[in-house]
Structure 1
Amino acid sequence: MSNYNEVLSRNTENAPKGNGLYSQTVAFSHYNNLSAQLPIDPKSGEVVDGGIKEQAEQCFKNIKAIVESIDHVMNDIVKITVYVKNIKDVDAINEVYKTFFTSYLPTRTVVEVKDLPMNSLVQIDALLSNGEGTIPNAPQSGDLIKLTNNTSNAPNCSLSTQTVAFSHYNNISAQLPIDPKSGRIVATDVKEQAKQCLKNIKAILESVDVPFDDIVKINIYLKNISDIEAVNEVYKTFFPDSAIARAVNYVPARTVVAAEALPMDALVQIDAVVSYGDGTPPQVIEDRHGIIIEANNTENAPKDSLSTQTVAFSHYNHISAQLPIDPKSGKLVSGGVKEQAEQCLKNIKEIIESVDHAMEDVVKVNIFCKNIADVAAINEAYKTFFPEGVPARTVVAVSDLPMDALVQIDAVAGNAEGTPPIV
């Protein structure tokens, strides 16, 4: 019997298959990572007939089929990400959404993207709690609880919870630049909007007694990629946040993409993944206290002063989005999208191997490309890195990427050894 968690990938006939490229769900320790679900009828393999409501319903049906196939329920979902072709369709999606989450509400991110596979109108992925863990023949605490919280010091939404903690992580709903007192978007300047997003995240964390420097991953969605420099000016005033973090220059892993549009016509939206050292009850005391964040950079992958290449906490490593940059030259590689995808994955491989892990430890991959028609070429490179098709996966086409790249890829990897407690 092993004392370590294992990567556990599973598929069901009741949801669309990944054609050998990805698994429907990949569990590791206390979380299940689901592949983004398109509105595909699993019997026909085609997008369902109808409009946005029918497509959203099929996405959720597919998620529910996957969740139930591994003996879980929809209320075990801690985070939902909705990628939509037209932000105006969100109201229709919400009508469907409320039929699948009638009492408990997970955290949520909504983004309009440029395009989706199979010309779909919507695609939805999910993160699921996994109380039993994945140590072979040795179930962990099956009665871990979710801790949900909302504070009046950040914007409230009737369709999402501000933060949902499970085991050693908090997942934060995407924060728009909304003043929580007025309920309105702050000034039209992107710097002020970025500041408000981060202030909202900080308020949420303070409401659950978690410091800002416990953030391990940040996702920034911009209306215009050219705004990134202005956003970075604000970002640097929030990270690092404490004297301890400043001493080691700690910054979270990070992904930046340009969205086609954001809710409320915002210029920026930010969500976060946060470490939670105390865990959620009833984890035993020795499993809860003093777990540390382990941040790492390697010379063999591109460095960025505003992000750490990999941030590990407990049983997960969070990898910053990798652009197709040659780490020696600091420039985009030559060639087309296949060569760029290969370089992104090479960079991820170098990062993972630098912390004594392997690509087989990857549980989730997110691919952001400029043109959805490029996915076939991206897949050619992808299959050489993941021949078993194990990680869960999400693919979307976005408006723009940093450095005018054609593709950008981030990843989450299992960390079997955990991060040791402070002795």
Structure 2
Amino acid sequence: MSGNIVKVSRNTENAPQSSFSTQTVAFSHYNNVSAQLPVDSKTSNIVAGGIKEQATQCLNNIKAIVESIDHVMDDVVRINVFLKDIADVAAVDEVYKTFFQNYLPTRTTVAVAALPLDGALVQMDALISNGEGTPSQEPCPLVKVAKNTDNAPQSGVSTHSVAFSHYNNVSAQLPLDPKTGQMVSGGVKEQAAQCLRNIKSVLESIDVPFDDIVKTTIYVKNLSDVDAVNEAYTTFFPDSAIARTVAYVPARSIVAASGLPMDALVQIDAVVSHGDGTPPQEVEDRHGIVIKANNTDKAPKSALHTQTVAFSHYNHIAAQLPMDAKTGAIVAGGVKEQAAQCLNNIKAIVESINHVMDDAVKINIQLKDVADLDAVNEVYTTFFKGDMPARTAIGVADIAKGALVQIDAVLSNGEGTPPA
């Protein structure tokens, strides 16, 4: 990683700490905040009460982290809400809106099979705009641009798209017709197509091509529906003649959800490159910073995603299963061996683009059995020499190929991307 921009990892005593993650990891114009459970940092216990009290504590923990680095909650550009029971979303929303004074960030809400602490009903992580940059940058006069369009379903708890510096984050899109506000008719294939149409409408409203997406996350109610989702997905990617020429597809993760809002079968969110920057920057040449997609034979490949997609100062790495790249089979052994293989696949991808594992700013772990997290942690720490990345871990209903674990990552990219 280049020394021109450095990664800054920080913890505060005002939020729960962990030896397996750093509360916030800043790089360039973003801070990645680890998932926060509803734990009081003074007692190390889950707060008393129900879902509203727990949601409040998660947000108070995020707020404490945000304020410890001289930011405010309105600097948050994205929140991910993980619930044990999707029926609790209305109660969460009641407290959620009280934490944001001027606007609502982009958001994804999903019910998961389990959270990393017994008794926890909710967990949240966050991404924060960081206008000051990080040392050794000079302060940068960047502004956050939040937008909605009438051509996609609107929500009272999130904004469609929030741009900052060279990225746009797009809220998770449900398979709703924006004109009626109702779920589209048909099955999961039709629902997936509607989710993607909604994302495309959001991007068209901000004059960003669909092929500027660098990462998608697909949440499915039933993992067996993935093939049907893919039938719709491949009609949207690649979207342009240029993308088709190079067979560009974004990085991707698939999460088996226990429940989705409005009882949907699928929900999709996106991270989008935004080469024009945001005001008051000068509008750049569209090709001044380019998407750089890369695959290596040393990790499992897929026609449906690229292993790593770089843009500006970040690389987004597709979810890695515990597969041996040579055989295409899940490695032998238990969850420790599988976690090691996932991380070795990520390491192979990282090293193929001349980076190291300590360039990771965020790691996301999905577990078939959340009780396996201690075993995963035994191998996890061996992959990092410096400060631990920010991290989110969840238990999921299922993982492809019967795997016990799946891991994806976001990587700092100090060199930028050619021809910057």
TM-score, normalised by the number of residues in structure 1: 0.97
1:193 to 191, 194, 201: 191
Q: What one-letter code is carried by the residue in structure 1 that aligns with 2:108? A: T
Q: What one-letter code is carried by the residue in structure 2 that aligns with 1:180? A: P
In structure 1, the partner of 2:371 is: 373
In structure 1, the partner of 2:271 is: 273
In structure 1, the partner of 2:324 is: 326
In structure 1, the partner of 2:30 is: 31
1:238 match: secondary structure? coil
Report runs of 4+ in structure 1 exceeding 3 Å deviation: 284-289
The superposition leaves residues 27-63 of structure 1 with CA deviations (integer Å, 9 ceiling, x where unpaired) of 0000000000000000111111111011000000000
Q: What one-letter code is carried by the residue in structure 2 that aligns with 1:38? A: L
Aligned-residue offset at 1:283: 2.8
In structure 2, the partner of 1:283 is: 281
**For 1:293-304, what aligned pairs fall within 5 Å after superposition?**
293-304=291-302
Give me the whole-angstrom Cα distance separating, in 1, the residues matched to 2:42 and 2:69: 20
Unpaired runs of 5+ in structure 2? none
2:235 match: secondary structure? helix
The superposition leaves residues 332-391 of structure 1 with CA deviations (integer Å, 9 ceiling, x where unpaired) of 001000100000000000000000000010000000001110000000110111244420
Give me the whole-angstrom Cα distance separating, in 1, the residues matched to 2:186 and 2:235: 20
Give me the whole-angstrom Cα distance separating, in 2, the residues matched to 1:152 and 1:188: 23
In structure 1, the partner of 2:167 is: 169
8 A contact 1:325–1:343 mirrored in 2: yes
Aligned-residue offset at 1:140: 3.5
In structure 2, the partner of 1:135 is: 135
2:244 to 236, 243, 246: 246
8 A contact 1:21–1:389 mirrored in 2: no
1:220 match: secondary structure? strand
8 A contact 1:364–1:391 mirrored in 2: yes
In structure 2, the partner of 1:144 is: 142
2:107 match: secondary structure? strand
Identity of aligned residues (%): 66
Answer yes or no: is 1:81 the counterpart of 2:97: no
Q: What one-letter code is carried by the residue in structure 2 that aligns with 1:112? A: A
In structure 2, the partner of 1:356 is: 354
In structure 2, the partner of 1:417 is: 415
1:375 match: secondary structure? helix
Alpha-carbon spacing, 1:22–1:149, altered in 2? closer, same or farther (3 Å): same
8 A contact 2:97–2:104 mirrored in 1: no
8 A contact 1:321–1:411 mirrored in 2: yes
**For 1:23-172, what aligned pairs fall within 5 Å after superposition?**
23-119=22-118, 120-136=120-136, 138-141=137-140, 143-172=141-170
In structure 2, the partner of 1:212 is: 210
Aligned-residue offset at 1:284: 4.5
The superposition leaves residues 205-231 of structure 1 with CA deviations (integer Å, 9 ceiling, x where unpaired) of 000000000000000000000000001
Give me the whole-angstrom Cα distance separating, in 1, the residues matched to 2:405 and 2:294: 23
Q: What one-letter code is carried by the residue in structure 2 that aligns with 1:157? A: S
In structure 1, the partner of 2:12 is: 12
8 A contact 1:3–1:135 mirrored in 2: no
Give me the whole-angstrom Cα distance separating, in 2, the residues matched to 1:92 and 1:274: 30
2:35 match: secondary structure? coil
Q: What one-letter code is carried by the residue in structure 1 that aligns with 2:125? A: D
In structure 2, the partner of 1:335 is: 333
1:365 match: secondary structure? strand
8 A contact 2:338–2:404 mirrored in 1: yes
Answer yes or no: is 1:235 the counterpart of 2:218: no
Aligned-residue offset at 1:95: 0.6
Give me the whole-angstrom Cα distance separating, in 1, the residues matched to 2:138 and 2:156: 35
Aligned-residue offset at 1:421: 3.5
TM-score, normalised by the number of residues in structure 2: 0.98
Give me the whole-angstrom Cα distance separating, in 2, the residues matched to 1:284 and 1:210: 17
8 A contact 1:222–1:268 mirrored in 2: yes
Aligned-residue offset at 1:287: 8.8
Q: What one-letter code is carried by the residue in structure 2 that aligns with 1:14? A: N
1:340 match: secondary structure? helix
8 A contact 1:35–1:393 mirrored in 2: yes
Residue range with higher mean Cα deviation, 394-403 or 280-289:
280-289
Q: What one-letter code is carried by the residue in structure 1 that aligns with 2:129? A: S
Q: What one-letter code is carried by the residue in structure 2 that aligns with 1:251? A: V
Aligned-residue offset at 1:393: 0.2
The superposition leaves residues 143-166 of structure 1 with CA deviations (integer Å, 9 ceiling, x where unpaired) of 211111111110000110000000
2:381 match: secondary structure? helix
Give me the whole-angstrom Cα distance separating, in 2, the residues matched to 1:187 and 1:284: 44
Aligned length: 418
